[in-house]
């Protein structure tokens, strides 16, 4: 998606965009201005979606807020996981609607497949929220964070739209860990300096805690910036216990690898520290001219070229058997992330 969406009324903030990095907490879009500001056209039979969150905490789609920039993007709470989702269906279908269902970014892949009439495979973590294979809405969203460039931590979260539960598996670490890239951003460097000079008070100093609580629980309705931890409030003990169990079940379901040391994970990916190679594509053709492609490497994707397309830079993604003419040639190769490409086979 192109990042040409703009807020309907910027209230004179354009100059400030050049001077500061702002963060957002929500979406405010004026449909007329949205259409006028779109730099590229979309055809009437195209479904478009935008979840644009740009670097340096800038976005042209959203309401400017005072959420601490240090907590954005890498946080497992609402401030780090809540992003805009804009969808344009063909012919104005559902135009102007606001849908308050819980949607995870993991759901985008299965949803695109569903809109194309392709049944998402069971091994995908996400669930389709539109199209032929639309599934029941989520009741909970789960978040995770482990490695942050040169730093490591282990956090998991559960969100239901109002409440946020955070489990810190390394509470001995500060909430804001050292990160060279983040610290060179002017706004962040200024905040760090103010904290070191002990000039930050109250909520402003919250993110610079030296250690973290084992659990965090926040009520977004009354605490949108997630700074008032209710984890020890007996009023919420039953609800918090429910989230603990939900998180435990989810971690078991997905086979959470966060408890495995990184060097052991790498060894499991690359036995004997040798990069594995994706197995070559095999071809199976029946009497009708239908060709099935397969790679014995679990999780591999297959790309193919056919006819005049052979030798170009464009590859088709294989997802179902293809029909070919009697004398038509097909080449294919397979790839799994982390593996070397297979050889091209004809």
Please answer whether residues 175 and 147 qualify as being in contact, where contact means their C-beta atoms are separated by less than 8 angstroms: no
Identify the three-state secondary structure at position 158.
strand
Band the pLDDT of 35: cuts 50, 70, 90. Answer: very low
pLDDT of residue 8: 34
Question: CA 125 to CA 49: how far, in whole Å?
Answer: 20
- Name the residue with higher pLDDT: 294 or 178: 294
Q: Which residue has the tokens 């409440």?
A: 163
Q: Which two tokens stand for residue 174?
A: 């500060």
Q: Compute the radius of gyration of the chain from its Cα atoms.
A: 24
Please answer whether residues 302 and 321 qualify as being in contact, where contact means their C-beta atoms are separated by less than 8 angstroms: no
Full strand arrangement of the beta sheet holding 163-168: 141-148, 151-159, 163-168, 215-219
Band the pLDDT of 336: cuts 50, 70, 90. Answer: very high
pLDDT of residue 287: 80
Please answer whether residues 65 and 28 qualify as being in contact, where contact means their C-beta atoms are separated by less than 8 angstroms: no
pLDDT of residue 152: 86
Question: CA 178 to CA 151: how far, in whole Å?
Answer: 7
Question: CA 268 to CA 44: how far, in whole Å?
Answer: 47
Whether 226 has a pLDDT exceeding 60, the answer reads yes
CA atoms within 13 A on the CB side of 246: 20
| DSSP β-bridge partners for residue 277 | 340
Query: In Å, how far are 153, 211, 322, 329 from 309, measured between CA atoms?
Result: 46, 57, 15, 10
pLDDT of residue 50: 55
Query: In Å, how far are 101, 108, 112, 125, 205 from 120, measured between CA atoms?
Result: 20, 11, 9, 10, 45
Band the pLDDT of 245: cuts 50, 70, 90. Answer: very high
Band the pLDDT of 13: cuts 50, 70, 90. Answer: very low
pTM beyond 0.85: the answer is: no
- Name the residue with higher pLDDT: 235 or 266: 235
Whether 128 has a pLDDT exceeding 90, the answer reads yes
Q: What's the pLDDT tens digit per position in 293-335?
A: 999 999 899 999 998 899 999 999 999 999 888 788 999 999 9
Nearest CA to 75 among 244, 251, 218?
A: 218
| DSSP β-bridge partners for residue 142 | 158
pLDDT of residue 233: 97
Would you give the DSSP letter of residue 341? Answer: P
Please list the residue range(s) of the chain that carry CATH number 3.30.1120.10.
142-265
pLDDT of residue 72: 64
> With the CA atoms of 157, 160, 162 and 164 taken in that order, what torsion angle do they form, in degrees rounded to the nearest 10?
-10
Q: What's the pLDDT tens digit per position in 52-74?
A: 544 333 332 222 333 445 556 67
Least confident of 32-41, 72-81, 142-151, 258-267: 32-41
Band the pLDDT of 251: cuts 50, 70, 90. Answer: very high
Q: Which residue has the tokens 């963060």?
A: 23
Report, as an integer, the average pLDDT of 177-197: 84
Whether 37 has a pLDDT exceeding 60, the answer reads no
Question: CA 59 to CA 299: how far, in whole Å?
Answer: 34
CATH 3.40.47.10 fits 142-265, yes or no: no
Nearest CA to 108 among 136, 84, 130, 141?
A: 130
Question: CA 74 to CA 144: how far, in whole Å?
Answer: 9
């Amino acid at each position: 998606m192109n990042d040409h969406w703009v807020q309907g009324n910027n209230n004179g903030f354009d100059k400030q965009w050049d001077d500061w990095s702002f963060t957002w907490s929500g979406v405010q879009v004026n449909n007329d201005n949205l259409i006028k500001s779109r730099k590229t056209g979309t055809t009437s039979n195209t479904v478009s979606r935008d979840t644009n969150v740009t670097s340096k905490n800038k976005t042209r789609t959203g309401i400017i807020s005072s959420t601490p920039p240090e907590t954005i993007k890498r946080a497992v709470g609402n401030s780090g996981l809540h992003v805009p989702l804009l969808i344009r269906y063909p012919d104005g279908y559902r135009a102007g609607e606001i849908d308050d269902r819980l949607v995870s970014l993991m759901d985008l892949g299965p949803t695109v497949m569903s809109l194309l009439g392709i049944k998402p495979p069971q091994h995908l973590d996400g669930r389709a929220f539109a199209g032929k294979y639309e599934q029941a809405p989520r009741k909970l969203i789960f978040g995770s964070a482990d490695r942050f460039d040169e730093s490591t931590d282990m956090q998991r979260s559960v969100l239901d739209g109002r409440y946020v539960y955070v489990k810190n598996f390394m509470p001995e670490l500060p909430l804001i860990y050292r990160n060279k890239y983040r610290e060179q951003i002017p706004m962040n460097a200024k905040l760090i300096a103010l904290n070191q000079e002990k000039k930050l008070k109250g909520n402003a100093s919250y993110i610079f805690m030296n250690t973290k609580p084992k659990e965090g629980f926040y009520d977004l309705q009354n605490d949108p910036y997630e700074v008032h931890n209710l984890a020890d409030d007996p009023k919420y003990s039953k609800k918090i216990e429910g989230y603990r169990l939900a998180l435990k079940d989810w971690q078991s379901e997905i086979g959470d690898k966060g408890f495995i040391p990184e060097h052991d994970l790498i060894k499991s990916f690359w036995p004997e520290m040798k990069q594995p190679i994706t197995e070559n594509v095999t071809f199976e053709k029946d009497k009708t001219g239908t060709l099935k492609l397969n790679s014995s490497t679990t999780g591999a994707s297959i790309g193919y070229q056919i006819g005049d397309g052979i030798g170009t830079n464009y590859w088709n993604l294989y997802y179902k058997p293809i029909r070919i003419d009697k004398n038509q040639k097909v080449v294919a190769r397979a790839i799994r992330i982390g593996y070397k490409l297979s050889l091209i086979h004809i």
